[in-house]
Amino acid sequence: MPLTSDFSLGKVAVSMTPRERFEEFLQARGKRITRQRRAIVEHVSAHHEHFDAEQLLAELRGSPEGARVSRPTVYRTLAELVDAGLLRKMTLDGRAVYEHDYGYPQHDHLHCTGCQALIEFSSDELSRLLDAVASRHQFRAAGHRLIVTGLCRDCRSTRSRARHQDRV
């Protein structure tokens, strides 16, 4: 996954690093660029595609030097990253999960209940279909969340083995 991307994506042409974009966002609002906020953008944009607050917190704890950040600050900063358009937030079960939303095309997910993997896919046909549905109901669609649950290829074969989590 590139740290920087510069392809065009619908409306906006992307050409800043996530960190730059975040700092711009902060400045525009009179917010400050702190050690903690920097540590979080850097870490988030350099790593995993999907994660939750607790995971991020743990990783920052294990990080090198002064990348230590408190739990409230992690939550506060994640919300800002969502506002800034860098991350997208979704809720899986009762837990918030974040994914990159900057320089990445719109997509939906296949969620494996075996290994908890999130597999991305996208479908133009789907967007068209949803537009049609919305207008049929005189509904102004702003977005959607679609998660197909089931078993991924690996878990289909490994099915009855130890891989499964306790809760389904």
Instruction: Name the binder of 152 from a copy of itself, DNA, none, CB < 5-8 A by kind.
Output: a copy of itself
Q: Does 7 bind a copy of itself (CB under 8 A)?
A: no
CB of 126 to DNA, least distance (A): 27
What is the 8-class DSSP label of residue 155? Answer: H
| Distance, CA of 45 to CA of 18 (rounded, Å) | 7
Instruction: Name the binder of 150 from a copy of itself, DNA, none, CB < 5-8 A by kind.
Output: a copy of itself
Q: Does 145 bind DNA (CB under 7 A)?
A: no
Considering beta carbons, is residue 46 or 115 the nearer one to a copy of itself? 115
CB of 147 to DNA, least distance (A): 16
The DSSP line for 57-74 is: HHHHHHSSSS----HHHH
3-state SS assignment for residue 110: strand
Q: Phi-psi region for residue 136, left (φ > 0), alpha (ψ -120 to 50) or beta?
A: alpha
**Per-residue CA distances from 98 to 31, 47, 51, 132 (Å):** 22, 12, 5, 28
Residues 6+ apart with CB under 8 A from 73: 36, 40
Segment 65 to 104, residues that bind a copy of itself, using CB under 8 A: 91, 93-94, 96
Considering beta carbons, is residue 93 or 166 the nearer one to a copy of itself? 93
| Distance, CA of 67 to CA of 83 (rounded, Å) | 22
Contact residue for a copy of itself among 32, 137, 161, 167 (CB under 8 A):
137
Residues that bind a copy of itself (CB under 8 A): 91, 93-94, 96, 110, 112-113, 119, 121, 123, 125-126, 129-130, 133-134, 136-153, 156
Residues that bind DNA (CB under 7 A): 26, 30-37, 52-54, 68-73, 75-77, 79, 94-96
